[in-house]
Amino acid sequence: MAFRFGVPIRRLARAAGALALALAAAAAGAQGVTVFAAASLTNAFEEIAQAYRAQGGSPVKFSFAASSTLAKQIESGASADIFAAADEQWMDYLAGRKLIEPATRSSRLGNTLVLITPASGRRPVDIKPGFDLAGMIGNGKLVTGDPAHVPVGRYAQQALTKLGVWDAVAPKIARTDNVRAALLLVERGEAPFGIVYGTDAAASGKVDVAGAFPADSHPPVSYPFAIVAKRNRPEVKRFFEFLYGPEAQAAYRRAGFSFR
Amino acid sequence: MDPGSAAAVAAPAVADARQSAPMLEVAVRKQLGSFRLDAAFRTDSHGLTALFGRSGAGKTSIVAAIAGLLRPDEGRIVADGEVLYDPERGIDVPAERRRIGYIFQDARLFPHLSVADNLRYGWKRAPAGDRPISFDAIVDLLGIGHLLERRPRRLSGGEKQRVAIGRALLAQPRMLLMDEPLASLDAERKSEILPYVERLRDELRILIVYVSHAVEEVVRLANTVVLVDDGRVVAQGTPESLSHRLDLRPLLGRFEAGAVVDARVAAHDDARQITRLEFGGQTLILPRLDLAPGARLRVRIRSRDVILAVERPTALSAQNVLSGWIAEIAREEGPYAEVKVDFGAGAILARITNDSVNRLALVPGKAVYAVIKSVAIDGHAVSAAPLDLD
Amino acid sequence: MLTDAELQALWLTFKVSARGVLFALPFAIACAWLLARRRFPGKTLFDGVVHLPLVMPPVVVGYLLLVLFGVKGLLGQPLNDWFGIRLVFTAAGASLAIAVTTFPLMVRAIRLSIEAIDVGLEDAARTLGARPLDRFLTITLPLMLPGVLAGAVMAFSAGLGEFGAVITFVSNIPGETQTLPLAIYTATQTPGGEGAAARLALLSIALALAGLILSEHLARHLKRMLGH
């Protein structure tokens, strides 16, 4: 065996080669999947990822925030594999910039839009055109996502406009940067009213649903999923399919989403 | 500093303000790290009491305790009949209520106030209606009228100290503490300030405790000297009496050792340009002094400037040949010896070699002559002596 | 150049930051003085707590404010029940968020300036008959003024940019709590809002720079006036 500085060369070279191969395999294989998802999907997705792991699937990392925030981050090059938005507009935003794999885009989840109050036994509100929401809010605030960019806020604005009460209510709106922050403020009793998704209200034990917005008052709440451009590795595709699989569907229904 | 100036007119008014003779009684014990302070002294009348000793002897700690800026472990401090500190009776008057003026070595004028506002700082906090020391009188006394609108950073060292003195006085203190006020000044500034301290002593008649490690200052200013060494009071007495104690010489400074003599101007001789001084029945001749006949003054005669003779020498240039006897001889380990020559009502010291002591067979009691050059008598130490104390 | 909404955000930001700093100032001076001049048990812990907002994520600070000062909070409940004061969704709440997050900056600057004051001056004041509060007002406070001012202006500048704590505690209400950072954030998230975002961001930078320069200038000027 050839020695150099007292070290067996060929044996070292073989060991180094084996190590390199193993690392490459690891890199290519179980790298983990990164999912950027709308805040309202938090509970359901975490449950689904646990089930996936239990079945032997790769670890999944999540970043939950407003769809607007996430879309902007992906646009700036954030390292996401899958994007799950809470409205079509933000998916359109990325699609228009060729930042998603168009063939993978589909929307099968739906949600309801509800008016909530702190859990204090307030009586239900009849949501119909012209209802005096502004009067009910009084000197307080109505909390929801920022209508300028957060999906839940957009839906809220559309619904309130359709019902003819937007102009009266708009000055009383407190904007948060995602739906879960709005939920938190109503849970803590800071505001008499909030507008969030039905699934959020169901997940929280500290708010009451005063009423649901009629489905025709706003565009259907739709959750488009897509794989981010150039990210369709086998393990990403596997988890993406799992997101529409039977275990996932059960999780969605448990949370209160509708599934097509 | 003209005795006929406005200040002299103001002085009697200020002097009247000092009603009774204040008394100061100090006993301080404190452990400061590895240094133990255990000093006690009292002074029964106003006038200037000097705390004299080496750096680090504990002098500043003692005055800080008197002022209330340092709390002793044990002791007792009484000023002017009022108990300021007595832990056994649970008394510890806070510094701000002791009414003791303090002049720091670094003046400590408030940089954000003008000289006038600095001066008035203590004045505003003294009880209204009981402010015998007036602003104008002090400004005149210290000659700081032209500085009133200035900021402290535009004053020289000597000007700062004068303002500091004025500020302390205008707080209507019952006594003054001066902590090495001249230490950070050069010789010229020192001689500029010393007369002002003398005026405080003589015209305001306010009790002053004056900390210094400089012999010239102490000789010139002190009525009483408290000698401090290693945290303890080693001796207390007038400068004259202490200067004669051979056992204290190590503490009084080897090279500056000498006798302090309390003398009086007898006469001047303008033709010969000399002045005759009288002390204890002896006569000293000096180059012409600018003092009025009858003026009292203190003179320091360095022991190394004194020659001894067992026979009266003649035809010498030295003007002074004093006749007395040997009171005491202190032989040192090296070649030197210090000899105290007594004249009955006065004494001086002579520093000669042990060899000469042997050669001349000097013993206590022996009659000798002390020869002193007139020019050797320390001109800087010539000053108006402190006035008689009541 | 700027739209009405943007001008509104600018003016609101000024007011909210200034009020927050002014509110926090006496507390900051007190804490700085304690840390600079006093020894007491638990001083290190106290120092740590004072500096917490500097090292905690701003959103966490906002959340803690919510827990403490919300209507169900430890301090918020009595404030609401006894005085009718609510802080969430209000400009006052935004001021509080800014006061808390910039507090450590103020304390640091003021503490440094107190420590720079010669204690000997306070001793001198004592011998002239000044009692503790008197000394503080006539000697310590004037001499630490440069530091106080520098700290306040720096905190004001930092407050102009505070985002996480404000949006979490008081949310985003134009005219009420939508400060410049919140407006910039909204603009960046809104499609087509890049232009507005860029304008506002530049404005923000200019204001922050101006604040820092002013703070330096003031401090130096005051120092000279006070004889340093």
Q: Are residues A68 and A120 in the same domain?
A: no
Question: Would you state the torsion angle of the CA atoms of residues B233, B235, B240, B244, taken in this order, to the nearest 10 degrees?
Answer: -130
Chain A residue whose CA is closest to C188:
A72
Is residue B244 in some structural domain? Answer: no
SS3 readout for chain A: CCEECCEEHHHHHHHHHHHHHHHHHHHHCCCCEEEEEEHHHHHHHHHHHHHHHHCCCCCEEEEEECHHHHHHHHHCCCCCCEEECCCHHHHHHHHHCCCECHHHCEEEEEECEEEEEECCCCCCCCCCCCCCHHHHHCCCCEEEECCCCCHHHHHHHHHHHHCCCHHHHHHHEEEECCHHHHHHHHHCCCCCEEEEEHHHHHHCCCEEEEEECCHHHCCCEEEEEEEECCCCCHHHHHHHHHCCCHHHHHHHHHHCCEEC
Nearest to A68 among C88, C167, C189 (CB): C189
C125 touches chain B (CB under 8 A): yes
| Residues C191, A188: C-beta atoms closer than 8 Å | no
SS3 readout for chain B: CCCCCHHHHHHHHHHHCCCCCCCEEEEEEEEECCEEEEEEEEECCCCEEEEECCCCCCHHHHHHHHHCCCCCCEEEEEECCEEEEEHHHCEECCHHHCCEEEECCCCCCCCCCCHHHHHHHHHHCCCCCCCCCCHHHHHHHHCCHHHCCCCHHHCCHHHHHHHHHHHHHHCCCCEEEEECCCCCCCHHHHHHHHHHHHHHHHHHCCEEEEEECCHHHHHHHCCEEEEEECCEEEEEECHHHHHCCHHHHHHHCCCCCEEEEEEEEEEEECCCCEEEEEECCEEEEEECCCCCCCCEEEEEEEHHHEEEECCCCCCCCCCEEEEEEEEEEEECCCCEEEEEEECCCCEEEEEEEHHHHHHCCCCCCCEEEEEECHHHCCHHHCEECCCCCC
Domain's final residue, options B181, B205, B237:
B237
Is residue A85 in some structural domain? Answer: yes
B117 touches chain C (CB under 8 A): no
CATH number of the domain at A137, please. 3.40.190.10
Is residue A26 in some structural domain? Answer: no
Paired tokens of C109: 């600057």
Question: Residue B3: is its pLDDT beyond 50?
Answer: no
Residues 6+ apart with CB under 8 A from B69: B95, B102, C123, C126, C127
What is the identity of the amino acid at B388? D
Q: Is the pTM of this model over 0.80?
A: no
Query: Tens of pLDDT along C17-46?
Result: 999 999 999 999 999 999 998 899 999 999
Percent of chain C with pLDDT over 90: 43
Angle at B44 between CA B43 and CA B46, to 5 degrees: 85
Q: Are residues B363 and B330 in the same domain?
A: yes
Chains touching B by CB (3 or more pairs below 8 Å): C
Percent of chain C with pLDDT over 70: 98
Q: Are residues A136 and A192 in the same domain?
A: yes
Confidence of residue B177 (pLDDT cuts 50, 70, 90): very high
Nearest to C129 among B69, B122, B153 (CB): B122
A154 touches chain C (CB under 8 A): no
C123 touches chain B (CB under 8 A): yes
Q: Are residues B21 and B71 in the same domain?
A: yes
Name the least confident of B140-144, B244-248, B362-366, C71-75: B244-248
Determine the structural domain holding residue A59 and report its residue range: 31-110+222-259
Is residue A1 in some structural domain? Answer: no
C-alpha pair distances (Å), C72 with each of C66, C87, C88, C207: 9, 12, 11, 36
Query: Tens of pLDDT along C172-199?
Result: 888 888 888 988 888 888 878 888 889 8
Chain C CB contacts of A181 below 8 Å: 168, 171
Chain A residue whose CA is closest to C187:
A148
Domain's final residue, options B204, B237, B270:
B237
A67 touches chain C (CB under 8 A): no
Query: Tens of pLDDT along B12-64?
Result: 444 444 444 448 999 999 998 889 999 999 987 778 999 998 888 889 999 99
Residues 6+ apart with CB under 8 A from A34: A60, A61, A62, A63, A79, A80, A81, A82
Q: What is the pLDDT of residue A172?
A: 93
CA C83 from chain centre, in angstroms, equals: 24
- Using the structure block, give the residue that is written with the tokens 């009451």: A208
In whole angstroms, give the CA distance from residue C14 to residue B148. 43
Report the residue of A142, A146, A183 to disrupt the C interface, i.e. the one with the largest count of C CBs within 10 Å.
A146
Each residue of C112-145: b (16+ CB within 10 Å) or e?
Answer: ebbeebeeebbbbbbbbbbeeebbbebbbebbbb
pLDDT truncated to tens, each residue of chain A (260 aa)?
455 555 567 777 676 766 666 565 555 555 789 999 999 899 999 999 999 999 988 899 999 999 999 999 999 888 999 999 998 999 999 999 999 999 999 999 999 999 999 987 677 888 889 889 999 998 889 999 999 889 999 999 999 999 999 999 999 999 998 899 999 999 998 999 999 999 999 888 899 999 999 989 999 999 999 999 999 899 999 999 999 999 999 999 999 999 88
Q: What is the pLDDT of residue B8?
A: 42
Q: Are residues B305 and B202 in the same domain?
A: no
A97 touches chain C (CB under 8 A): no
Strand partners, C209: none
Confidence of residue B384 (pLDDT cuts 50, 70, 90): low
Q: Are residues A106 and A226 in the same domain?
A: yes
Angle at B56 between CA B52 and CA B57, to 5 degrees: 45
Q: Are residues A106 and A119 in the same domain?
A: no
Question: Residue B291: is its pLDDT beyond 50?
Answer: yes
Chain B residue whose CA is closest to C134:
B125
Chain A CB contacts of C193 below 8 Å: 148
Domain's final residue, options B180, B207, B237:
B237
Q: Touch between chain B and chain C (3+ CB pairs, < 8 Å)?
A: yes
| Residues A185, C186: C-beta atoms closer than 8 Å | no
In whole angstroms, give the CA distance from residue C106 to residue A224. 48
Strand partners, B32: B35
Question: Residue B288: is its pLDDT beyond 90?
Answer: no
CA A132 from chain centre, in angstroms, equals: 31
Q: What is the pLDDT of residue C8?
A: 84
Nearest to B112 among C126, C128, C143 (CB): C143
For residue C24, give how far its alpha carbon lies from the nearest alpha carbon of chain B (Å).
26
B213 touches chain C (CB under 8 A): no
Q: Are residues B195 and B71 in the same domain?
A: yes
Question: Residue B96: is its pLDDT beyond 50?
Answer: yes
What is the identity of the amino acid at C218? L
Number of structural domains, chain A? 2
What's the CATH number for C4-225? 1.10.3720.10
| Residues C127, B171: C-beta atoms closer than 8 Å | yes
Q: What is the pLDDT of residue B14?
A: 46
ipTM of the predicted structure?
0.78
Question: Residue B11: is its pLDDT beyond 50?
Answer: no
Cβ atoms of A144 and A86 closer than 8 Å: no
Query: Tens of pLDDT along B300-349?
Result: 888 888 999 999 999 988 889 999 999 999 888 889 899 999 988 888 89
Q: What is the pLDDT of residue A30?
A: 59
Nearest to C227 among B96, B108, B112 (CB): B112
Is residue B251 in some structural domain? Answer: no
| Residues B110, C139: C-beta atoms closer than 8 Å | yes
Confidence of residue B213 (pLDDT cuts 50, 70, 90): confident
Chain C CB contacts of B99 below 8 Å: 129
Q: What is the pLDDT of residue A7?
A: 59
Is residue B117 in some structural domain? Answer: yes
Question: Residue C84: is its pLDDT beyond 50?
Answer: yes
| Residues C129, B99: C-beta atoms closer than 8 Å | yes
| Residues C190, A68: C-beta atoms closer than 8 Å | yes
For residue A162, give how far its alpha carbon lies from the nearest alpha carbon of chain C (Å).
22
Full DSSP string of chain C: ---HHHHHHHHHHHHHHHHHHHHHHHHHHHHHHHHHH---TTHHHHHHHHHHHHHS-HHHHHHHHHHHHSTTSTTHHHHHHHH----TTSHHHHHHHHHHHHHHHHHHHHHHHHHTS-HHHHHHHHHTT--HHHHIIIIIHHHHHHHHHHHHHHHHHHHHT--HHHHHHH-B-TTTT--HHHHHHHHHHSTT-HHHHHHHHHHHHHHHHHHHHHHHHHHHHHHHHTT-
Q: What is the pLDDT of residue A5?
A: 59
Q: What is the DSSP pairing of strand B175-179 with strand B100-103?
A: parallel
Is residue A7 in some structural domain? Answer: no
Q: What is the pLDDT of residue B374?
A: 76
Q: What is the pLDDT of residue C28?
A: 96
Q: Are residues B227 and B270 in the same domain?
A: no
Q: What is the pLDDT of residue B389?
A: 46
| Residues B96, C129: C-beta atoms closer than 8 Å | yes
Instruction: Report domain extents, chain C.
Output: 4-225
Is residue A102 in some structural domain? Answer: yes
C134 touches chain B (CB under 8 A): yes
Average pLDDT of chain B is 85
Chain C CB contacts of A176 below 8 Å: 167, 171-172
Number of structural domains, chain B? 2
C133 touches chain B (CB under 8 A): no
C-alpha pair distances (Å), A225 with each of A48, A79, A200, B230: 15, 16, 19, 88
In whole angstroms, give the CA distance from residue B287 to residue B296. 17
Chain A residue whose CA is closest to C167:
A176
Determine the structural domain holding residue B320 and report its residue range: 258-384
Chains touching C by CB (3 or more pairs below 8 Å): A, B
| Residues A189, C72: C-beta atoms closer than 8 Å | yes
Angle at A138 between CA A181 and CA A211, to 5 degrees: 60
Is residue B40 in some structural domain? Answer: yes
Is residue B65 in some structural domain? Answer: yes
